[in-house]
Amino acid sequence: FSGPFTDVVTTNLKLRNPSDRKVCFKVKTTAPRRYCVRPNSGIIDPGSSVIVSVMLQPFDYDPNEKSKHKFMVQTTYAPPNITDMEAVWKEAKPDELMDSKLRCVFEMPNENDKLNDIDASKSAPVLNTSKQDGPMPKPHSVSLNDTETRKLVEECKRLQAEIMKLTEDNRHLRDEGLRLRKVAHSDKSGSPTALALRDNGSNSLPSLLVVIAAIFIGFFLGKFIL
């Protein structure tokens, strides 16, 4: 057992059955109040193994005191159709029992191990802090959900359709303005004032359409950025 012994210290025993018959086992100790054994008895199938956990309870360790704690693992072949484990051990003959004895050894960690533990404890808060910090927050634009994205796409399509319609109207009005200018030039009886009004009226409409298109585009860009 490796210290410090301020908390429960666990050591595992691996018991293996190399025979071709089932074997019953039982773990005993000279200090039953100081140890907790799980499982402390059972049956091992042929060719199988079992892990037994031996848990040492906390105590005040004295390096000058020699340990007298011992363990004994008793085994015997399991009878056929076994139902009562206690009856097996009571009825077993001495020559049918096999046992193995183990002596407990207590060890304290050396100075190098203590230093390593201290370094590990110092570095642990740094690792915990980095985990708590977490990843960098994502930009707000990435957090748009599917509904908002779909609305923006539909609004974009609608604005594009409006711009195409305004462009087509602008083209028709420009053609009409050219036609009116040709008529004005060919009409010798028309006054210069009327001709100027016609030109101004035909030129103002395309400009008005361009302004409307710019308003739509500005509205769409402002909504998308927000």
Query: 12 to each of 16, 25, 70, how far by Cα in Å?
Result: 13, 15, 15
For 189-215, what is each residue's pLDDT tens digit? 555 554 454 555 445 445 555 555 556
pLDDT at 2: 84
pLDDT at 221: 54
Among 7-11, 75-79, 88-92, 144-148, name the one with the lowest average pLDDT: 144-148
Q: Is the pLDDT of residue 220 over 70?
A: no
Residue 161 binned pLDDT confidence (cut-offs 50, 70, 90) = confident
Q: Is the full-model pTM beyond 0.75?
A: no
CA neighbor of 105 nearest in space, from 145, 155, 141, 69:
69
For 79-132, what is each residue's pLDDT tens digit? 988 888 888 999 889 999 999 999 999 888 775 554 455 454 444 444 443 444
Instruction: Spell 81-113 as b/e; 16+ CB within 10 A means b.
Output: eeeeeeebeeeeeeeeeeeeeeebebeeeeeee
Compute the distance between CA of residue 78 and CA of residue 91 in angstroms, rounded to an integer.
12
